[in-house]
Each structure stands twice: as C-alpha cells, then as structure tokens.
A and B are shown apart, each in its own frame.
Chain A
Amino acid sequence: MRVRFPQLAIVLAGLASAGCAERALHTLTLSGSTSLQPLAEKWAEAYQSHHPGLAIAVQGGGSTAGVQAALSGAAQIGLSSRALTSVELRDVRAIQVARDGIAVVVHPSNPLDDLSLDAVKCIYSGSIKDWRQLQGPPKAITLITREEGSGTRAAFESLVMSKLSISSSALVQDSTGAVRQMVSSDPAAIGYISIGLVDASVKALRLSGVAATEANIDRGAYPLVRPFLFALHGEPNAQTRGFISWVSGPEGRELVRREGMLPATQEGSDARR
C-alpha cells in the first residue's frame, strides 16, 4: 500500500510515455513573443472553435525564447516579433503572419504630441534626461523599456537606436502590457509598445509628424514596423500546417485587422511554400 520511490518512478515513467503519443495528436504549442501572444490567442480561440479535437497552447517568454522553443521541439511554432538573426535562420524557417508597428507612448497628460526619431534615440540613450529639454514640464523622464530577450526591444533597438544602447537606468518591464500599465500611471514616463495594444490609457506620439496608424504603416510612411513571424524547425506536422494555412487565409487576416495590426504582405506569407 505504501507507495515506494521505485514504484513511483515507474508509474511516472509510464504516465509520461503514455501521454506522449496522445499529446502529439491533439496539442499544438506556440511559444514566444508577448506582443504576438494576444493575437496568437485570438487565432487559437477561433481555430479551436472550428476544430474541437485540437488544443492549442500559447506560451509567452519572449521572441528569443520562442525561437529556442521551436528549435528544441518544446513548441511546434515559435512566435517572434522581430526578424530572425542569421544564426537562427540556419536552423529555423520564418513565415510572416502579420505586420505590426511599434508606437512610442507617453502618459495622456503629457503635452507632447510629436517627436523626431532622433529625439527618441537621445531620450533612450540617456542624453536627454528631462522633459524640459523638449519644451515640456520640468520633470525627469522615466524611461521604460522591455527586457533584453524581447522582440519588441530588439526591433526598437535596430530601428531607432542603431549603434547606441538603451540607458541602463531605464525601468525594465517584462511584457508589453506591463510597459503600457507603467506609462499609463506615470505622467513622466515614456515607453514603446506594439501599435495593436495602444488603447485609451496611453497616448501614441507622432514620429516626425507621422501618426502611428495602420494606414501609415501600409503606406510605408511610419518608420517603426516589424514583422510578426512564425518560426518553424523541420517539417511541420499536419495540425501545424492546417493552422498556418488558416492563419494566412482570409479569416486569419481578418482577425489581424481586428486586433489593430496589419496582415502579412503577400511575399511574406508566400514563404511558407
């Protein structure tokens, strides 16, 4: 009656191996970017209502973690909100599933409406420390950034910072929602989040006169655009392929628009072939 350790180990091993086969049939795991997570969850929810036998799990962790999960097999699809590096592209294939802009946001009470890209760079590198230097109120700027493995941060760094690094006195938050929450409660804060997640609690700045809207991204006028990618390692199984083609199809694209992002460009989504 007493469950002894060796017996327990055998039982667990049995459970593990028994479950493995079953799991491969009915679970699809996506893992990675927190910016892509809400959209991926919407896709998952809609897709699962059409395919009740399939369970889709959407994990977070950040773009880099997502690509690694795809590589290690922990996830079938890695979610990335930045272009993959050359090292990653050696083992992983990328399919563009949406496009998203990065909005630079401030508190709604902030008198500024417009900033140049250069000014944003100076703020984030630490050369501009006070709103007063930008004709704003005399308050020290509270810099908010994402953690280092974030796709949003990587995209921001390559599009805005170029060679400069973000100041080490910036507050680091671990998800887009957290950045938005911080900015919405601190009148002196500035942060960057996915355009699709901008809501009434923060104000998105115009960059050199260009507003952060989908129309401007489509036209190519807004500079901060990054791809949302599915990262795949090896040959995807039937469920994965089915999901990906649904996502690239009209229903998937419609969902993207509803979330405030842009559907993938035609060349991007053709890469799945």
Chain B
Amino acid sequence: MSARLFTPVRAQLVARAVLWSMMSLALGILALVLWFVLRRGLAHIDWAFVSTAPLDSGRGGGIFPILVGTLEVTLLGVATAAPLGIGTAIYLAEYTKEGRLTRAIRFGSECLAGVPSIIIGLFGFVLFVTTLRLGWSILAGALTLALMTLPLVIRTSEEALKSVPTAYREVALSLGASKWQTMLGVVLPAALPGIFTGLILGLGRAIGETAALIFTAGSSLPHQLPRSLLDGTRTLSIHFYQLAREGISADHAYATAAVLVLAISFINLSSSFAMHRFMRRYG
C-alpha cells in the first residue's frame, strides 16, 4: 500500500482487536459477577431452602415466606400499574396525534422513569405508610412499585400497539365496527403478547428493587406466610441485603442472591425473547 504507519488495513486490525477485547472485558465482568454469586450460592439452594420458613434471623431455615411476599408485592405492583399504563398507551397510540400533549405525557413518563428509586420510596413512605396509615405492608410496597414500573409499562405497551399493522384496524373499521370495538376486539388481542411481555419485564425490574421497598414494605423477617395485604414482608433483595450486611449467614446470603439472579435472568431473558418473537411477527 503506502509507506504510512497506519494503513487503513492495519488500523482496521487494531480497531477490531481493541473492540473485541473490550467486549471480552465486559463479558468477563459479567462472568465474574455470576461466578461470585452462583459459586457459593447454588450449593446451598435445595428444596428445603425454598420451601421452609427462616429460623434464627435467617441463619437457618429457608426463604419460603420471603418468596411468597416478594411475589405478592411485585405481582400486585405490576397489576396495579398495568391498567394505568396500558390505558395511557392506548390513548397515546390510538386516540391522539403526535403533538404537544403526547410529547408532554411521554416526557413526563421518561422523567418518572429517571426519578431515583429512593425518592419514590420516600414518597411511598409518606403517602402510603404514614398518611394512608397502611403501615409497612405489602400493599404499600406494591403501590410504590406500581409508580416505578408505570413508565416501563407505558413504553412497552405503546410499542406493542404500534406494531399491530394498520391493516387490522382498517379492515375492522371498514366492516362497520366503532373505534372502541376495533380496539377491544382486534387491536388489543393482537397487541396482547407484546403488552404482556412488557409487564413481565417490569416484574423482573421490580424484583430487584431494594431501596424503595425497605421504606414501604418494610424489612421485618416474616416467619409465616402473609395473611393479608397489610402484613409487612421482606423481599428477596432486602433479605439478601440484611443477611450480607449483618453478616448473619454468608451461605444463605449467597443462596438468596443466587435465587434472585436466576429468577431475574430467567424473567428478563424469556420476556425479551418473547418480545422479539412478537415484534418479528408483526414488524
């Protein structure tokens, strides 16, 4: 080629090497994180761990009530955010044109997504725990989680609705259906898989939440299953935090973390996979 040191071909090789090594670094970090958690944690997960109640502040026993409590808080939270978020998404996608109102709503939603979780937790503490006198409870935690997952639900539902081909709507309308009948009978069912996977994604996000839930669902260790929505509970991530920080039981801490990481990974991966399948079907 020429006498220059950095010929385009050489630059290409150097660039490839650098970029791939950076990718490997990122993968190495992920591997380190997973190895750290799973190496000790997996060994201590067994059926007894998952199905019995904690003993001795968490040193013994298992995490069953904690699992149930976590599920209740997160499922209720996502279920509360769903009607609000899906309704907003339907409104944005179907009933309005791109204009100042839609951009305002979307901007507001993005801002809410960016508010630090601790501030939402404090808001939840003052509103749900104190003012509404719900106390440290599953309900307070769920409502707070709903606030946090709302932007995600809006965004994913809107995407799902937009992916439904206009032809569907046009055919229904041309057959004489009203807009609402089209929505309910044609568009929503078509968009439902996408909306649903968005909700599952929100669930995955909610399970890992810690700061906001300490203030609202509380951090007390449950010895039995929660009997009402007003019982407090400790979620998996808070339990891990307590076990690890207080040095109560390293083994159980790692086991809890392993359960957390595995559950979240499973949820995230399956919902992303389903989401892409759905988009490819319509997009």
Contact = CB atoms under 8 A, between A and B. Distances in A.
A73 B129 CA distance: 11
A55 B132 CA distance: 22
A31 to B, nearest CB: 8
A29 B232 contact: yes
B224 A55 contact: yes
A23 B247 contact: no
Give the size range of A's interface with the partner: 35 or more
Contacts of B228: 19, 22-23
Interface in A1-35: 2-5, 8, 12, 15-16, 19-20, 22-23, 26-27, 29, 31
Interface string B243-265: 00111100000000000000000
B103 interface: no
B230 A59 contact: no
B84 interface: yes
B195 interface: no
B175 to A, nearest CB: 22
Given A19-B139, A38-B57, 9 more contacts: A8-B83, A29-B232, A42-B56, A74-B129, A174-B245, A176-B246, A177-B245, A177-B246, A177-B247
A45 B245 contact: no
A22 B247 contact: no
Given A26-B227, A45-B55, A181-B245, A60 B132 contact: no
Contacts of A29: 135-136, 220, 232
Q: Dominant SS at the A interface?
A: helix
Interface of A: 2-5, 8, 12, 15-16, 19-20, 22-23, 26-27, 29, 31, 38, 41-42, 44-45, 48, 55, 57-60, 72-74, 174-178, 180-181, 199, 201
B230 A22 contact: yes
Contacts of B218: 57, 59
Nearest to B80: A8
B181 interface: no
B223 interface: yes
A4 B227 CA distance: 27
A12 B80 CA distance: 10
B231 interface: yes
Contact of A23 (B132, B135, B143): B135
Contacts of B134: 16
A177 B231 contact: no
A58 B229 contact: no
A180 B224 CA distance: 30
A154 to B, nearest CB: 20
23 contacts: A2-B83, A5-B84, A5-B87, A16-B134, A22-B227, A29-B136, A29-B220, A31-B136, A38-B246, A42-B57, A45-B55, A45-B56, A57-B218, A57-B220, A57-B222, A57-B231, A58-B220, A59-B219, A72-B130, A74-B136, A175-B246, A176-B246, A177-B247
Interface residues of B, number: 34
B16 interface: no
A194 to B, nearest CB: 12
A72 B135 CA distance: 10
Given A19-B229, A23-B230, A26-B227, A59 B248 contact: no
Nearest to A39: B57
Nearest to A5: B84
A42 B87 CA distance: 47
Contacts of B129: 74
Contact of B229 (A15, A176, A199): A15
B136 A59 contact: yes
Given A23-B231, A57-B232, A72-B130, A4 B247 contact: no
B230 A20 contact: yes
Nearest to A44: B223
Contact of A19 (B57, B84, B230, B247): B230
A174 B227 CA distance: 31
Contacts of A176: 246
A55 B197 CA distance: 36
B277 interface: no
Nearest to A41: B57
